[in-house]
Amino acid sequence: MSEPLLEARGITKVFRRGSEEIWALRGIDLEVGEGERLAIVGASGAGKSTLLHVLGTLERPTGGSVRY
């Protein structure tokens, strides 16, 4: 098997509002290989857009790593 084009390990994203913490992502692991297609589906507010922002380098994750 070849190296993945994208590899995410333990991605977390927490938004803080004062003393309140809102966990948008908790421990996301993902590998995407060359030629693969994927769909990210889930209920409203599940963190789909946040995950895409982190994977697309528009936002930094609170924890974990993303490799390209």
The predicted-structure confidence for 41-62, as pLDDT tens digits, reads as follows 999 999 999 999 999 999 999 9
pLDDT at 1 (0 to 100): 58
Please report, rounded to a whole number, the percentage of residues in the chain having pLDDT higher than 70.
99
Q: What is the pLDDT of residues 1-28, one digit of tens each?
A: 578 999 999 999 999 999 999 999 999 9
By C-alpha distance, which of 17, 20, 27 is closest to 65?
Answer: 27
Please state the pTM of the whole predicted model: 0.89
Domain residue extents for the chain: 6-62
- The whole-chain average pLDDT of the chain stands at 96
Q: How many CA atoms lie less than 13 Å away from 62 in the CB half-sphere?
A: 14
